[in-house]
Structure 1
Amino acid sequence: MTTTDTTATGLAHGWYALSLLHGRIEAHIERALQSGHDLSVREYSLLDVLSHQHNDEGGHLRMNQVADAVVLSQSATTRLVTRLEDRGLLSRYLCATDRRGIYTDVTDAGLALLAEARPTHDAALREALDRANEDPRLTPLVAAVEKLDGGPKAS
Structure 2
Amino acid sequence: MTATDPALTALAQGWCALSALHGRIEALIERALQAKHDLSVREYSLLDVLSRQHDGEGGHLQMKQVADAVVLSQSATTRLVTRLEDRGLLERYLCPTDRRGIYTNVTETGLRLLEEARPTNDAALREALYEASRNPELAPLVRAVESLNVPA
* Equivalent residue number for residue 116 of structure 2: 116
* Equivalent residue number for residue 139 of structure 1: 139
Runs of 4+ in 1 over 3 A off after TM superposition: 1-4, 149-152
Which stretches in structure 2 are left out of the alignment for 5+ residues? none
Which stretches in structure 1 are left out of the alignment for 5+ residues? none
1:57 CA drift (Å)? 1.4
Query: What's the C-alpha RMSD, in Å, of the aligned pairs?
Result: 1.7
> Structure 1 length as normaliser, TM-score?
0.94
* Equivalent residue number for residue 37 of structure 2: 37
> Structure 2 length as normaliser, TM-score?
0.96
* Equivalent residue number for residue 80 of structure 2: 80
CA distance in 2, matches of 1:67, 1:94: 18
CA distance in 1, matches of 2:3, 2:11: 12
Q: Per-residue displacement from partner, 1:122-145 (whole Å, max 9, x unpaired)?
A: 000000000000100000000010
* Equivalent residue number for residue 93 of structure 1: 93
Alignment: residue pair count: 152
CA distance in 1, matches of 2:151, 2:79: 31
C-alpha change, 1:127 and 1:151, in structure 2 (3 Å) is farther
